[in-house]
Amino acid sequence: MSPLREIDRPVPQSGSEVPAASGNGTPSQVVPGPSGPGTTVTGAQSLIRTLVDAKVDVCFANPGTSEMHFVAALDSVPEMRAVLALFEGVVTGAADGYGRMTDRPAATLLHMGPGFGNGIANLHNARRAHTPIVNVVGEHATYHARFDAPLQSDLVALARTVSKWVRECSSSADFSADATDAVAAAMAAPCGSATMVMPADISWQTVGGTQARPRPLPPEGSVPAETIEAVRQVLMTGEPVTLLLGGRALRERGLRAAASIAAATGSKLLAETFPARLERGGDLPPIERLNYLGEMAIVDLAEVRHLVLVGTPAPASFFAYPDQVSELWPQGCQLHVLAGPEHDLVGALESLAEAVSPAWASGDQRALSGSGPEVSKSHPTGPLTLQSMAIAIASVLPEGAVVVDESNSAGMYLFGATARSPRHDWLTNCGGAIGLGLPVATGAAIGAPDRPVICLQSDGSAMYTIQALWTQAREGLDVTTVILSNRSYAILNLELARVGAGAGGPRAESLLELTGPELDFVSLSRGMGVPATRATTAEELVVQLQHALREPGPHLIEAVLPEGLG
């Protein structure tokens, strides 16, 4: 049993009033609160009002007792949309999807260390995607901590692993300023998670009716002119140069500027392997992604003599393999950094385009576009294979779609098949922790309510956060999920061989196969309120996709693929 500590400390009374203050020594400005000067609100009400004023008006939540005052306060600040998710990995993944589509943070509401811990995998993915998120995590009341009651843990240690900013809030009077600091921290480039630890007594104490003003957003760092000039000189060497683009360089403006640089200098463009949000299709300049498999990535970069990094780190293989190098660029290739994720990537690319491309400088962008979508895509027929499944999806992909791709090995043809589809966004798993697809699609649908969201979801990864379907049904979200059902952790079968662990006997195999019993995704989906069908041929998949895309609200299609690697 844990010894009691600090038992001589006075125990505060619930509802005790503390004076309003401008906040914890921070320079936050205060303004009259929701009910005007002279009134009082709870710390939780003040927090939610401050978040809404800072345009953080969606909160993905899975609450517990320590968050009850936050929950109660939601009715007094109706501008905050609260969205219940049934597992914290859905909460955090949804916040990631929302942030990727809006470039603004959602809030999460999580229950203490264990609840936060359940959400860490998708906060890890969000950190790698540079997604702004404000996490509000309940904790025992300040005076209760010394009893080491159930659910007490080292929450701050957990929070630090995935947050760029963590604060243990210690005064309800400062709570509003804490919230403005959190939003500013989440939004400062490179964006990330800001985590507020909210002791229960801080949320229930009352404060005067004042609150902190949202802070102005700090601008992204601009890239020094000397750096742009140095890269310009590299481009002029006549040697093979590739620009490896990441982060916001993969949105329209960055891509158009990069395409003009490539056209003017003969350099090549590549996107990082796992982009947070790649805009593509339509008349956007096409771009390939650096391959996931190290052997193929090495081929992608084999001829390069200068690799220019734009918002992405030097490319290394996903894992180490015996007797293989981790660096993916060839010996003798020089690395150059045009800009890091803390920089204004688009500004840097546009300045470089201005310096090297007469077409860009004169405003003539015609040569810089893609060839446009294919006029008509014929629908595939016959058995469902990895290829026909990919072609079926490409043949119906609607204009403006948001594609969330957690398709792993079963989706190996999807990106290529959709290259000439109408304009759409492609969101991937930047952090490698699986169980991201369904939650990110959920948050993306809330962040981009006028766009169809298509979630391409491998079966094994789907099962980590399948509860996201319930939230999609409850919120009536326009998400079409295609489960790529190969009844297998197929990619791990591949990895088993690649790491040199041998072929694996039946015991090894049993850890990589999703059989005995087989998962019935149609029943799982219907059980959570999402209409579902099963497709066993390419024709069925096309018809079911067309129906799902036509009818509002969420749908799920279980695409039955050949077992294993296909």
Ligand X SMILES: Cc1ncc(C[n+]2csc(CCOP(=O)(O)OP(=O)(O)O)c2C)c(N)n1
CB of 103 to Mg ion, least distance (A): 32
* DSSP summary character for residue 274: S
Q: Which is nearer to ligand X, 89 or 347 (CB)?
A: 89
Count the residues of the shown chain that bind Mg ion, applying the rule CB under 5 A: 6
Q: Which helix (H) or strand (E) holds 514?
A: none
When the beta carbons of 53 and 459 are compared against ligand X, the nearer one is: 459
Please tell me the distance from the alpha carbon of residue 405 to that of residue 196, in angstroms, as a whole number.
30
Site string for Mg ion, 411-450 (x = CB under 5 A): ----------------------------------------
- Decide which of Mg ion, ligand X, none touches 432; Cβ closer than 5 to 8 Å per partner kind: ligand X
351 or 461, CB closer to ligand X?
461
**Shortest Å, Cβ 13 to ligand X:** 44
Query: Is there a cis peptide before residue 275, judged by omega within 30 degrees of 0?
Result: no
> Measured at the alpha carbon of residue 302, what is the angle toward residues 296 and 306, in degrees to the nearest 5?
130
Q: Does 458 bind Mg ion (CB under 5 A)?
A: yes
State the nearest-atom distance from the C-beta of 446 to ligand X, in Å: 23
Using CB distances below 5 to 8 A depending on partner kind, what does residue 62 bind out of Mg ion, ligand X, none? Answer: none
Per partner kind, with CB cut-offs from 5 to 8 A, the member of Mg ion, ligand X, none near residue 461 is ligand X
Cα 49 from Cα 46, distance rounded (Å): 5
Q: Which residue lies nearer to ligand X by CB, 267 or 461?
A: 461
Work out what residue 433 binds among ligand X, Mg ion, none; the CB cut-off runs from 5 to 8 Å by kind: ligand X
Nearer to ligand X, 273 or 351 (CB): 273
The one-letter amino acid at 453? V
Strand partners for 210: 32
* Non-local CB neighbours of 296 within 8 Å, separated by 6+ positions: none
Tokens of 179: 């919230």
Among residue numbers 487 through 546, which ones bind Mg ion (CB under 5 A)? Answer: 488, 490
Q: Which stretch binds Mg ion (CB under 5 A): 83-91, 254-262, 352-360, 479-487?
A: 479-487
Closest contact distance (angstroms) between CB of 388 and ligand X is 16
Nearest to ligand X of 89, 285 (CB atom): 89
- Nearer to ligand X by Cβ, of 94 and 183: the residue is 94
Closest CA to 371 of 260, 287, 284: 284
User: Closer to Mg ion at the Cβ: 193 or 525?
Assistant: 525
Cβ of residue 83: shortest distance to ligand X, in angstroms?
A: 23
DSSP at 378: P
Which member of 486, 525, 533, 544 binds Mg ion (CB under 5 A)? 486
Which tokens hold the place of 541? 């998949």
Q: 400-437: b or e for each residue (b if 16 or more CB lie within 10 Å)? A: ebbbbbbbbbbbbbbbebbebbbbbbbbbbbbebbbbb
Which structure tokens are listed for 386? Answer: 């990895």
Tokens, residue 314: 């030097």
Q: Which stretch binds Mg ion (CB under 5 A): 53-61, 319-327, 451-459, 475-483?
A: 451-459
CB of 476 to ligand X, least distance (A): 27
Smallest distance from the beta carbon of 516 to ligand X, in angstroms?
Answer: 16
Structure-token match 């000397």, residue found? 226
| Spatial separation of the C-alpha atoms in residues 191 and 133, rounded to whole Å | 8
38: alpha, beta or left? (left if phi > 0; alpha if psi -120 to 50): left
Cα angle: 87, vertex 164, 30; to 5 degrees: 95
86: phi then psi, degrees, rounded to nearest 5: -95, 10
Q: What is the CA radius of gyration of the chain?
A: 25
Q: Give 151 or 494: the residue with its C-beta nearer to ligand X.
A: 494
Smaller CB distance to ligand X: residue 121 or 255?
Answer: 121
By CB under 5 A, which span of 226-234, 286-294, 483-491, 534-542 interacts with Mg ion? Answer: 483-491
Q: Supply the minimum distance, in Å, between the C-beta of residue 150 and ligand X.
A: 26
> Binding segment for Mg ion among 323-331, 444-452, 457-465, 496-504 (CB under 5 A)?
457-465
What does 491 interact with, of ligand X, Mg ion, none (CB < 5 to 8 A by kind)?
ligand X
Q: How far apart are CA 410 and CA 387, in angstroms?
A: 9
Q: Which two tokens stand for residue 563?
A: 């077992």
Do 207 and 172 contact (CB within 8 A), yes or no? yes
Burial 355-387 (b: 16+ CB within 10 A, else e): bbbeebeeeeeeebebeebeeebebbeeebebe
Give min distance, CB of 511 to ligand X, in A.
Answer: 9
Q: Which residues contact 563 (CB under 8 A, 6 or more apart)?
A: 486, 487, 488
Q: Give me the residues that bind ligand X (CB under 6 A), please.
A: 121, 408-410, 432-435, 458-461, 484, 486, 488-492
Nearer to ligand X, 367 or 497 (CB): 497
What spatial distance separates the first Cα and last Cα of the chain, rounded to whole Å?
54
The partner in contact with residue 409, picked from Mg ion, ligand X, none with C-beta cut-offs of 5 to 8 angstroms by kind, is ligand X
Q: Output the smallest distance, CB 491 to ligand X, in A.
A: 3
Point out which span in 204-212, 331-339, 393-401, 452-460 binds Mg ion (CB under 5 A).
Answer: 452-460
Contact region with Mg ion (CB under 5 A), list: 40-48, 169-177, 386-394, 485-493? 485-493
**CB under 8 Å to 44, separation ≥6 — which residues?**
69, 70, 72, 73, 198, 203, 204
Closer by beta carbon to Mg ion, 355 or else 436: 436
**Binding partner of residue 344 among ligand X, Mg ion, none, CB under 5 to 8 Å per kind?**
none
Q: Are 122 and 96 in contact (CB under 8 A)?
A: yes
Q: Is 563 exposed, middle or buried (0-12, 13-18, 19+ CB in 10 A)?
A: middle
Judged by beta carbon distances under 5 to 8 A according to partner kind, the member of ligand X, Mg ion, none in contact with residue 448 is none
The residue among 120 and 184 lying less far from ligand X, judged by its C-beta, is: 120
459 binds Mg ion (CB under 5 A): yes
Given ligand X, Mg ion, none, residue 243, with its beta carbon under 5 to 8 Å by kind, binds none
Residue nearest to ligand X (CB): 460
Residues at the contact surface with Mg ion, assessed by CB under 5 A = 458-460, 486, 488, 490
